[in-house]
Each structure stands twice: as structure tokens, then as C-alpha cells.
């Protein structure tokens, strides 16, 4: 039976692909899967200085950190505008025991600036335990440094009082000071995800193999399953989708002089215009702004094009829908695939921009594929909802024109996300495109894998809309032929 062979082949391929992807993710995820950076809150605004830290005195600053080790401490120091000699000992203590310390030469400390003390070897701690950051010195009066303290958090506009309890306050020789040190402790927290990665992979692998065994067994008894139907449909309609996509593509560039070149030119020109506007007129402060902008534009352009094309996919093919039977999902799917080709073409100039601006491209950059899959799933989901709505309410196309513009501004494409006030951040992060664009930027600009949470958000942000889209589309599709 031909069908059975196809299913076996599909099962084998899916298991093989799963194994390759699992190994690749482990390699590409690297440190980011095993641990992540954590820090205490940003330092407070310096409002006062402690007395000179001389021999025999000790400054203690209580803190807690949800990390497994501490790697560095940042402090704001003062030298009284002179060169001091001697050493400063920075230590982390738990009760009476010293967990670790570092020694800094006083000559190397700059006046009124941040001092970063890196511990030779990360100090292991228990997450969340109450610790003390201690400062000691062998300096004498007139030849010593001191630390700044304060009690206010700086905001974009002015500053506010930081809520402090008595236990939080810094102490100078056991005497509480009216504030806390200007300090920030950083370390790394190991992630459960990394520890159990291979267990998870193994479990999924077993599930996948079991699933296919069940499917094949059911097939032998003459029963079909979802995946069997899906594979048969894919085989049957592959040719049709290919034809529809090639029609879209040919029709788009027919009778234009530059033809397919527009797929490259369009994003480049858009980026150039926006780059000039935002970097010269608005003085954007984002590092590597051209790459930042280009990634945003490529993602959003695809989303906008794919959804607008899918929107028309049912109502625009009315002549076909009322005359021949084709599964209705073919229409939005073929439109999204057409846009995908454009997306792939626009990745070429993106690669060029990344190379020119000095981002290093490595095997790890392949993680963008994950981001792209999420982006396509999101566009397809939204596209299916729009296509169904459009059949019943023609107003949808005009509404969508407005919504896509709002969406454009609600996504950090040409501005940094830091300009969004902290209290609106939760609402802001509801935007699925935010997570996908952020993912792409971390992979392509920082050259590292995002932490596991970012993957989860991307999956949620794309597959929930997709599931919703399929559900709505499925419910409406029988009535399309009557209303279109």
C-alpha cells in the first residue's frame, strides 16, 4: 500500500528531524539554557557619603539574591579627590562566615564613579539567603576611600523614595545609616530547564515514537488518524498549492521592469528611509541601529503582507469557491506561503546589513529559523481569522488597515523598548510580535540564544493565535460558499 509507505517515511523523517533539532538546540542554547544572569535592583541615587573607611571600621550592607553564585559587585565610590594607598577588601558574608572576598588597590579607585569588583571565582550561595556585603580597608584618616549611599530610585522623570525596611539599611560599625549603599550584586542562577533538558528530550522522543507506532497500528486496522489525513492532504494538494503560489508570485511582478528585484529592494529602501529619519532627525541612541531597524522591518513587513493577503484570500477567490471544490484552508495557506518566499528573499539583504555592521554570523544564527516559524504561524493564525471575518463583514479590510498601523507603533521596530513606561510594560508585552522580534534581535545581534523563557513566550505568542485561527476558520468555512 502506497499510503502506508508514505506514513512510515513521514514517521521516520519526523523522528530524525526531532533528534537533529534537539541536539542543535542544546548546542545553540549553550550557557543560556543552563543559567541566566540575575542582579539585585539598580543602584539607588547617591545622596550622601559614608565617613572614611579606615582600618578597624566595617561597612555592612544586607541583601538577598536569587542566584546560585555571585560573580561581581558594583559600588559607587569616593576618594576625596586624592590618590590613596592601601587596599579595600570587599567580602560577602553569611552571618559570621566569610563566603568569599576580593581585594582592590585603593590607587585604582576613581573618584565619584562606579567600581566593579569581580570575584576571582564565583562565590557559591544558597538562593534567597540573607547575606551581607562588607567593605573593609587598611587606610588611615586622610588616606582612605568611602562609598556613597542613598534612598531614592532614579526614574525617567525625577526620582522616587525606595521603600526600605530597617533590615535593609546599610550599617557603619553596626550603626544603621539613613539609606543603602549605591550597589548592585550580580550572579547567575542555574535553570531547571538546562538540568533536565535531556530528560525532557528523551521523554518527548519516546512519546513521538509511541505516537507513530499507534498511528501505524491503527492504519493496519484500516483506521485513519489526524496525521494520516494531514499527510494525504499534503500529498494531494502539494501541486495545487505550488501552482497557486507561483501564480501569486508571477502575477505580483508581471509587467514590472525590475520584477523579483523588488523583493530585495523594498526592505532596503524602507530601511534606508527610516534609518535616515530616525537616526538623524530623532537621534536614536540604539547601538547598531541599522541592524536593529532592519530586523524589525523584515519581521513586520512579512506580518503585514501575509495578513493583508490572507484577508482577501476567501473573498477574492469567490469565483473559484462557488465553482470548484478545494479545501478552503488552501487559500489562506497559499497566500501565507507566497509571503514566505518574499520573507526568505528579504533575508538576503538582512544578512548583508548584519555582515556590514559587524555582527558575526555563526551556526547559532540558525536559531532565527525558530523565530521565523513562530512568525509564520502567527501570521497564518491571524490571517485565517481575518479571512473568515472578511466573508461576513466587508468592513474588516478597512478596520485592518487601521489596526495594522497601530500594531506597527505598538511593536519596537524603530524605537527602543526602554521608552515604554514600566507600568505599561505588562500590557505592552501582550503583543505577540514583541516577543518574536525580540527573539530575532537577541539571536542575530547578540549572537547568543535567548533564555528558555523567551522560547516559551514565542511559542505561546504564535501558536495560541494559530489554534484560534484554525478553530474559527473551521467553524465558518461551510458557510463561505453561501456568503462570499
Question: By three-state DSSP, how is residue 88 classified?
Answer: strand
**243 interacts with another protein by CB under 8 A:** yes
Cα gap 238→178, rounded to integer Å: 72
Residue 482 as a binder of another protein (CB under 8 A): the answer is yes
CA 78, CA 88: separation in Å to the nearest integer?
12
Check if the beta carbon of residue 295 is closer than 8 Å to that of residue 313.
no
Look up residue 34 and give its three cell numbers.
543552563
Judged by CB under 8 A, which stretch of 76-84, 155-163, 239-247, 452-460 contacts another protein? 239-247
The whole-angstrom separation of Cα 289 and Cα 278 is 9
Contact pick of 221, 255, 283, 360 for another protein (by CB under 8 A): 255
Instruction: Out of 321, 367, 374, 443, point to the residue binding another protein (CB under 8 A).
Output: 321
Choose the stretch contacting another protein; rule: CB under 8 A; options: 147-155, 237-245, 302-310, 427-435.
237-245
475 lines the binding site for another protein (CB under 8 A): no
Take residue 426 and report the three cell numbers written for it: 505588562
Among the listed residues 337, 321, 341, 330, the one whose alpha carbon sits nearest the alpha carbon of residue 237: 330
Residue whose CB is less far from another protein, 255 or 283:
255
Among 2, 324, 363, 419, binds another protein (CB under 8 A): 324
Say whether residue 231 binds another protein (CB under 8 A): no
**Closest distance of CB 394 from another protein, Å:** 6
Question: How near is the Cβ of 420 to another protein at its closest, in Å?
Answer: 31
244 binds another protein per the rule CB under 8 A: yes
Binding mask 1-30 for another protein (x = CB under 8 A): ------------------------------
Number of residues that bind another protein (CB under 8 A): 30
250 scored as a contact of another protein (CB under 8 A): yes
Dig out the grid coordinates for 359 from the structure: 555582527
Integer Cα distance of 277 and 482 in angstroms = 48
Report the chain's C-alpha Rg in angstroms: 29
Is residue 481 involved in binding another protein (CB under 8 A)? yes
Residue recorded with cell 550557557 = 31
Check binding of 326 to another protein (CB under 8 A).
yes
Which CB sits closer to another protein, 192 or 324? 324
Interface of this chain with another protein, residues 384 to 403, rule: CB under 8 A = 392-396, 399
Secondary structure string (H, E, C) spanning 369-413: HHHHHHHHHHHHHHHHHHHHHHHHCCCHHHHHHHHHHHHHHHCCC
Q: Rule CB under 8 A: is residue 154 a binding residue for another protein? A: no
> Would you list the DSSP string of 151-209?
-EEE-SSSEEEPP--GGGS-EETTEEPSSEESEEEEEEEE-HHHHTHHHHHHHHHHHHH
178 scored as a contact of another protein (CB under 8 A): no
Q: How far is the CB of 391 from another protein (least distance, A)?
A: 10
Residue ranges that bind another protein, judged by CB under 8 A: 239-240, 242-244, 246-247, 250-251, 254-255, 317, 319-326, 392-396, 399, 478, 481-483
Amino acid at each position: 500500500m502506497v499510503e502506508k509507505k508514505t506514513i512510515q517515511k513521514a514517521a521516520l523523517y519526523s523522528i530524525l528531524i526531532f533528534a537533529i533539532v534537539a541536539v542543535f538546540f542544546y548546542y545553540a542554547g549553550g550557557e543560556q539554557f543552563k543559567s541566566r544572569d540575575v542582579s539585585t535592583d539598580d543602584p539607588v541615587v547617591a545622596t550622601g557619603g559614608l565617613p572614611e573607611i579606615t582600618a578597624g571600621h566595617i561597612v555592612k550592607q544586607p541583601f538577598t539574591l536569587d542566584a546560585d553564585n555571585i560573580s561581581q559587585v558594583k559600588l559607587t565610590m569616593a576618594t576625596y579627590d586624592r590618590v590613596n594607598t592601601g587596599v579595600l577588601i570587599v567580602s560577602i558574608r553569611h552571618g559570621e562566615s566569610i563566603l568569599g572576598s576580593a581585594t582592590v588597590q585603593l590607587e585604582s579607585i576613581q573618584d565619584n564613579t562606579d567600581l566593579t569588583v569581580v570575584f576571582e571565582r564565583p562565590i557559591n550561595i544558597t538562593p534567597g539567603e540573607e547575606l551581607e556585603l562588607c567593605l573593609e580597608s587598611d587606610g588611615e584618616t586622610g588616606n582612605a576611600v568611602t562609598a556613597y549611599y542613598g534612598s531614592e530610585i532614579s526614574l525617567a522623570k525625577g526620582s522616587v523614595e525606595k521603600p526600605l525596611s530597617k533590615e535593609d539599611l546599610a550599617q557603619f560599625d553596626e550603626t544603621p545609616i539613613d539609606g543603602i549603599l549605591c550597589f548592585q550584586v550580580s550572579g547567575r542562577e542555574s535553570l531547571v530547564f538546562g538540568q533536565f533538558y535531556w530528560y525532557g528530550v528523551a521523554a518527548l522522543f519516546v512519546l513521538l515514537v509511541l505516537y507513530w507506532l499507534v498511528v501505524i497500528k491503527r492504519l493496519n486496522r484500516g483506521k485513519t488518524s489526524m496525521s494520516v489525513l494531514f499527510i494525504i492532504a499534503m500529498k494531494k494538494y502539494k501541486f495545487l498549492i505550488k501552482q497557486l503560489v507561483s501564480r501569486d508570485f508571477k502575477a505580483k511582478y508581471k509587467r514590472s521592469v525590475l520584477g523579483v528585484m523588488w523583493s530585495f529592494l523594498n526592505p532596503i529602501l524602507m530601511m534606508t528611509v527610516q534609518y535616515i529619519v530616525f537616526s538623524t532627525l530623532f537621534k536614536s541612541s540604539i547601538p547598531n541601529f541599522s541592524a536593529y531597524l532592519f530586523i524589525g522591518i523584515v519581521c513586520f513587513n512579512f506580518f503585514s503582507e501575509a495578513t493583508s493577503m490572507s484577508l482577501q484570500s476567501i473573498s477574492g477567490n469567490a469565483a473559484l469557491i462557488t465553482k470548484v471544490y478545494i479545501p478552503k484552508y488552501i487559500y489562506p495557506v497559499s497566500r501565507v506561503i507566497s509571503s514566505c518566499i518574499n520573507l526568505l528573499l528579504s533575508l538576503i539583504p538582512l544578512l548583508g546589513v548584519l555582515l556590514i555592521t559587524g555582527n558575526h554570523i555563526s551556526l547559532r544564527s540558525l536559531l532565527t529559523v525558530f523565530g521565523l516559524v513562530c512568525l509564520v504561524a502567527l501570521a497564518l493564525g491571524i490571517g485565517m481569522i481575518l479571512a473568515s471575518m472578511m466573508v461576513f463583514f466587508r468592513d474588516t479590510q478597512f478596520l485592518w488597515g487601521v489596526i495594522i498601523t497601530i500594531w506597527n507603533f505598538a511593536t519596537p521596530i524603530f524605537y527602543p523598548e526602554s521608552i515604554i513606561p514600566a507600568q505599561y510594560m505588562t500590557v505592552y508585552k501582550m503583543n505577540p510580535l514583541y516577543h518574536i522580534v525580540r527573539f530575532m534581535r537577541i539571536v542575530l545581534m547578540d549572537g547568543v540564544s535567548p533564555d528558555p523563557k523567551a522560547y516559551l513566550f514565542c511559542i505561546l505568542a504564535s501558536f495560541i493565535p494559530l489554534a484560534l485561527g484554525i478553530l474559527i476558520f473551521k467553524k465558518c468555512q461551510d458557510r463561505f460558499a453561501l456568503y462570499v
